[in-house]
Structure 1
Amino acid sequence: MTMQTLIALFMEQIKETTWVQWLAVALGVAEVLLARKNNIWLYPLGILGTLISIYLLLDVHLYAESILSVYYVVMSVYGWVYWIKKKDEPPVEVSWSTKKEWIVSITISVVGWVFFYVLLKNLPAKYFTPSNVPIWDALISSTAWAGMWLLARRKIENWVFLNVSNLFAIPILFYKHLPLFAILTLFLFVVAIFGYFDWKKEAELAKSLKPKAESV
């Protein structure tokens, strides 16, 4: 595929994108930027954007992808509730994952990979959209699931799992003739890199201030 063809596909995608699709994309970008800043508003905007995405996916009969988006809504609600602590409790801090959380995250990724591969490979097209790249579709989804779980718990490694998903999603989106969303995912990939270092810095700062607070 030549550069000229890529540009033509990109322009065609822009022309075919409705305002509803642009709104969903804009909310998705806002969610990631707010996540990088560790701002709780990432959840209400993310939920709204995902609900719009579910409507768009159902409209084109992408039922399996719609189910995945429902999971994102559930995890976003969970994360929103988890972040909002009682007034007499300290806020949930950004931190590194524990050994147990690593095991859970890897389990989500591996089990989810196998589950979605079998689902995309074997279920009838009458109910689910068939995929000609089920292995990669499954990997993108399962690592995103793990990343969302860690994001909800404010764990730094969420950016690692989300970017594994983004990394494989970029070429798949180009392959599917969706260059606009591939470029968007590339943008999200870069933002996630900065998000990782921002959260890492915040965790280190909080750790360095703890002895001072205790000594006062």
Structure 2
Amino acid sequence: MPLAHWLDSLVAPLNAVLFHFGQDAVTWAELLGFATGALCVGLTVGSSIWNFPVGIANNLFFLVLFWQGRLYADASLQIVYLALGAAGWWEWLHGGERGGERRGRRTVRRAPARLVAGLLLAAAPATWGLTVLLASAHDIAPFWDALTTALSLAAQWLLNLKKLQNWYFWIAADVVYVPLYFAKVLYLTGIVYVVFLAMCLLGLRAWRRELAAGPAGPGAPAGAVAASGTAGAA
């Protein structure tokens, strides 16, 4: 049996249930996108650098999903997320304090107020531009999709720099995503984003604890915590 047919057979029971609630069929790309998305958030909660390769896989699944659905604007945004994910992966490995001739891994820190303010200010024109773009692509809710995208891009930027405030932006985006997906009759997606919202709250608490723990060892910078990525990602 071809792989695609085998994957379709896995989602068939789920679609049988969702059909009775008026939702369109879930594809294997969507299901794998949900699975990798949940795993990515879980890894981020644990401050693991493996969130980036898993996140890149998540972007690829949704790129396939949106392209097959002819949602070209959303598919193009996945390419942006791919690039940001790759940059964040490098930043967590090599963007930390300089030790000798090379920089070490990034540590959890708070973002300066000017950076947060700058991202909030940038979110306004980004939302406007994306609203125009998504409206031209006949998006069903161009403003709300644009707003959540702008918030998510800001959150990803802060995540790449391993700043605590990234969780506030993810939480704000998810608070909008949940009712938005239910309004679009995407019940499974809405439920998944309720889970994501809960995981973001856990992530905020976990990162606060790491930050409050102080230096991870002798010579560690004040207020910093060493990254917990595994050796295989280096």
TM-score for the superposition, normalised by structure 2: 0.78
The aligned residue for residue 191 of structure 1 is: 199
Is 1:162 the counterpart of 2:176? The answer is: no
Look up the match of 2:91: 82
Deviation of the 1:207 alpha carbon: 5.0
2:34 equivalent among 19, 22, 25: 25
Moved more, 104-113 or 167-176: 104-113
Deviation at 1:204, TM superposition (A): 1.4
Greater fraction helix: 1
Alpha-carbon distance in structure 2 between the residues aligned to 1:145 and 1:139: 10
1:103 is matched with 117
* CA distance 1:10–1:153, shift in 2 (3 Å): farther
Alpha carbons of 1:8 and 1:81: their partners in 2 closer, same or farther (altered >3 Å)? Answer: closer
Q: Using the TM superposition, give the Cα deviation of residue 203 of structure 1 relative to its aligned residue in structure 2, in angstroms.
A: 1.0
**Equivalents in 2 of 1:38, 1:181: separation in Å?**
25
- Measured against aligned partners, the alpha-carbon deviations of 1:18-46 in whole angstroms (never above 9, x if no partner) come to 33322121111100000000000000011
> Which residue identity does 1:154 align to in structure 2?
K
| Superposition RMSD in Å | 2.5
2:6 maps to none
Where does residue 4 of structure 1 map in the other structure? none
Letter in 2 for 1:94: V
Q: Tell me, in whole angstroms, the C-alpha distance in 2 between the residues paired with 1:10 and 1:157.
A: 40
- Kindly provide the amino acid, as one letter, of the partner of residue 109 in structure 2: S
Structure 2: distance between partners of 1:81 and 1:207: 22
1:63 paired residue number: 72
2:186 counterpart residue number = 178
Given the alignment, which residue of 203, 207, 212 partners 1:204?
212
- Equivalent position amino acid for 1:120 in 2: L
**Matched AA of 2:57:** L
Between Structure 1 and Structure 2, how many residues are aligned?
201
**Which structure 1 segments of 5+ residues have no match?**
1-6
| Deviation (angstroms), 1:197 | 1.0
The residue number in structure 2 matching 1:3 is none
Partner of 1:33: helix, strand, or coil?
A: helix
Give the secondary structure class of the aligned counterpart of 1:16. Answer: coil
> Letter of the aligned partner of 1:73 in structure 2?
L
Q: Distance in 2 between matches of 1:159 and 1:174?
A: 23
Structure 2: distance between partners of 1:16 and 1:62: 16
**Which stretch shows the higher mean deviation, 132-141 or 145-154?**
132-141
Is contact 2:56–2:85 with CA below 8 Å preserved after alignment? yes
Cα displacement (A) at 1:16: 2.3
- For structure 2, the 5+ residue unaligned runs are 1-16, 223-234
Cα displacement (A) at 1:107: 2.7
Seq. identity, %? 24
1:94 corresponds in structure 2 to 108
Residue pair 1:105, 1:150 contacting (<8 A) in 2 also: no
Q: Return the TM-score normalized by structure 1.
A: 0.84
Q: How does 1:140-155 map to 2 (within 5 A)?
A: 140-155=148-163
Q: In the TM superposition, what are the counterparts of 1:113-132 in structure 2 within 5 Å?
A: 113-121=127-135, 123=136, 128=137, 130-132=138-140
Q: Distance in 2 between matches of 1:210 and 1:204?
A: 16
User: Residues 117 and 212 (structure 1 numbering): CA distance in 2 closer, same or farther, change over 3 Å?
Assistant: closer
Structure-2 change in CA distance of 1:132 and 1:151 (3 Å):
same
* C-alpha deviation, 1:9, in angstroms: 5.8
- Counterpart residue identity of residue 188, structure 2: L
Deviates more, 1:16-25 or 1:150-159: 16-25
> 2:125 and 2:221 mapped to 1: Cα distance?
42
